[in-house]
């Protein structure tokens, strides 16, 4: 998320009201999302691992000596390091034993005794075809897993907790798959895909983050089968200005559960994410040809689905809008949307705007809705044919 001061003119400054969120659990209390399911698979992969990292050794040393196509198995244990991966077609997985997994931990102590945090857990650059699975990643200052300029990367069965700005962070990538991950206590977006194409984000659980999942300035991404609950906002599909990619098109948000996203916003001040009002289910802003369908969206105190424009946010005076600012041809249909908008956040209420299930700012072309729910702003929305 690029820092942009202020949120919506839906939103003059006002205090946020704290709400109780689902408890977030770190790696000491929480094994990876699918440890039980993948224990057999882990044992099978251990037999074909070309390199094994034993507890007490460094994962980075194994990655440095690996060649393209190698399979690295990591024994359960705590590994206090950051790992850089640049070799294509590696498979790197956590072995499991008694429900325990390999934990990548970013905490440390400086020479003067002060507590420090390493920047990223896994940093992946130009490593197309990477498969990374089964790790628990915690206590980093930057990101849990950052992937740049890579294609066909698979990130699977990761538990990421309290790992900085982004839990999973692919940027300028093609064909990234993020699946069956559990992400919590992230200061921006639990799972983010930016400047990317054809990403698939499926079957993940995101909670206790500022935003659960965010697609930004990306094309042809699919967000499906996820549970986003107890965040400030559930799922975002955005286009922001002054980035190398100027559009976000043909993204799909389908068959997700977006529930009770009413967490007090604790994100970075003077950024879009830091100014989000609590209680937002799904937001589409300045993206085109977005499909929102088949989702269960309920219990979000401000609105269920909002379709907005860049002109609804307060940009710094020095920032020019170099993208088309409206959301065009958004389709919102066949969702179960209920019990949203019961207590809109102060940033919305101060504008005299209601809390609703469906919100549109009346800008953009070709947007349409086909929903049975009541509670709309405006009361009449264009009907999908």
CA distance linking residue 60 with residue 327, whole number of Å = 44
Q: What pLDDT score was predicted for residue 273? A: 87
Any domain includes 31: no
Q: What pLDDT score was predicted for residue 8? A: 33
Q: What pLDDT score was predicted for residue 372? A: 94
Q: What pLDDT score was predicted for residue 31? A: 42
CA distance linking residue 63 with residue 66, whole number of Å = 5
- Pair 291, 264: CB distance under 8 Å: no
Same domain, 154 and 269: no
Same domain, 161 and 207: no
Same domain, 211 and 171: no
The residue from 142, 168, 184 where one domain ends is 184
Any domain includes 29: no
Same domain, 166 and 198: no
Which of 171, 181, 99 shows the shortest CA–CA distance to 132? Answer: 181
Q: What pLDDT score was predicted for residue 271? A: 82
Task: State the Rg of the chain over Cα.
Answer: 21
Same domain, 303 and 176: no
Any domain includes 161: yes
Please give the full DSSP string across 1-66, using - where no structure is assigned: ----S--BTT--S-PPPP---PPP--TTT---TTHHHHHHHHHHHHHH-SEEEPTTS-HHHHHHH-
- Token pair for residue 256? 């997700």
Any domain includes 302: yes
CA distance linking residue 144 with residue 122, whole number of Å = 6
Same domain, 153 and 218: no
- Tell me the longest C-alpha to C-alpha distance in the chain: 66
Residue ranges making up the domain that contains 92:
42-184
Which of 117, 81, 106, 108 shows the shortest CA–CA distance to 27? Answer: 106
What is the CA angle 280-319-322, rounded to 5? 85
The residue from 158, 184, 210 where one domain ends is 184
Same domain, 217 and 331: yes
First to last CA, the chain: 34
**Residues in CB range of 378: below 8 A, 6 or more apart:** 360, 362
Q: What pLDDT score was predicted for residue 274? A: 86
What is the CA angle 207-304-235, rounded to 5? 40
The number of distinct structural domains making up the chain is 2
Same domain, 254 and 271: yes
Q: What pLDDT score was predicted for residue 361? A: 94
3-state secondary structure 199-258: CEEECCEEECCCEEEEEECCECCEEECCEEECCCEEEEEECCCCCCCCCCECCEEECCEE
The residue from 184, 204, 221 where one domain ends is 184
pLDDT in tens, the chain (385 residues): 433 333 333 332 222 222 223 334 567 544 444 443 444 455 545 557 899 999 999 999 999 999 999 999 999 999 999 999 999 999 999 999 888 999 999 998 888 989 999 999 999 999 999 999 999 999 999 999 999 999 999 999 999 999 999 999 999 999 999 999 999 999 999 999 999 999 999 999 999 999 999 999 999 999 999 999 999 999 999 999 989 999 999 999 999 999 999 999 999 887 888 888 999 999 999 999 999 999 999 999 999 999 999 888 766 555 688 999 999 999 999 999 999 999 999 988 988 889 999 999 999 999 999 999 999 999 999 999 8
Any domain includes 34: no
Same domain, 246 and 315: yes
Same domain, 111 and 242: no
Same domain, 228 and 347: yes
Q: What pLDDT score was predicted for residue 47? A: 55
Q: What pLDDT score was predicted for residue 28? A: 56
Question: Looking at the whole model, is its pTM more than 0.85?
Answer: yes
CA distance linking residue 291 with residue 367, whole number of Å = 10
- Token pair for residue 224? 């499906």
- CATH classification of the domain holding 154: 2.160.20.10
Any domain includes 98: yes
Any domain includes 35: no
- Pair 161, 14: CB distance under 8 Å: no
Q: What pLDDT score was predicted for residue 30? A: 46
Q: What pLDDT score was predicted for residue 49? A: 84
Which of 173, 8, 186, 157 shows the shortest CA–CA distance to 93? Answer: 157
Same domain, 85 and 219: no
Any domain includes 248: yes
**Residues in CB range of 224: below 8 A, 6 or more apart:** 200, 201, 202, 203, 252, 253, 254, 255, 256
Q: Give the number of other Cβ atoms within 10 Å of residue 261's Cβ.
A: 33
């Amino acid at each position: 998320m690029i820092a942009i001061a202020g949120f919506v003119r839906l939103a003059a400054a006002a205090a946020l009201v704290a709400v109780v969120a689902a408890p977030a659990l770190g790696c000491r209390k929480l094994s990876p999302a699918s440890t039980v399911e993948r224990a057999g698979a882990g044992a099978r992969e251990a037999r074909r691992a070309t390199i094994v990292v034993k507890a007490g050794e460094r994962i980075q040393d194994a990655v440095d000596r690996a060649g393209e196509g190698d399979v690295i198995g990591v024994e359960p244990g705590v590994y206090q390091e950051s790992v850089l991966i640049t070799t294509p077609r590696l498979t790197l997985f956590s072995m499991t034993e008694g429900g325990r997994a390999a934990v990548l931990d970013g905490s440390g102590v400086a020479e003067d005794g002060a507590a420090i945090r390493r920047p990223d857990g896994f940093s992946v650059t130009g490593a197309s075809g990477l498969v990374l699975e089964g790790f628990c990643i915690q206590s980093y200052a930057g990101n849990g897993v950052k992937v740049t300029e890579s294609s066909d990367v698979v990130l699977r069965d990761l538990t990421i907790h309290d790992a900085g700005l982004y839990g999973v962070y692919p940027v300028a990538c093609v064909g990234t798959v993020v699946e069956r991950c559990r992400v919590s206590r992230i200061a921006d977006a639990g799972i983010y895909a930016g400047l990317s194409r054809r990403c698939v984000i499926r079957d993940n659980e995101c909670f206790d983050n500022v935003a659960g999942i965010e697609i930004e300035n990306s094309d042809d991404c699919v967000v499906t089968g996820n549970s986003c609950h107890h965040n400030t906002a559930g799922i975002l599909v955005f286009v922001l200005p002054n980035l190398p990619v100027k559009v976000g098109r043909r993204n799909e948000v389908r068959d997700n559960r977006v529930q009770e996203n009413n967490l007090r916003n604790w994100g970075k001040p003077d950024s879009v994410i830091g100014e989000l009002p609590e209680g937002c289910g799904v937001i589409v802003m300045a993206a085109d040809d977005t499909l929102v369908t088949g989702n269960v969206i309920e219990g979000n105190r401000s609105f269920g689905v909002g379709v907005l424009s860049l002109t609804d946010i307060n940009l710094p005076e020095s920032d020019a809008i170099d993208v088309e600012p409206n959301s065009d041809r958004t389709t919102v249909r066949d969702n179960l949307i209920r019990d949203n908008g019961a207590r809109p956040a102060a940033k919305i209420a101060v504008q005299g705007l209601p809390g609703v299930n469906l919100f549109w700012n009346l800008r953009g072309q070709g947007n349409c809705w086909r929903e049975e729910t009541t509670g709309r702003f405006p009361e009449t929305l264009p009907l999908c044919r």
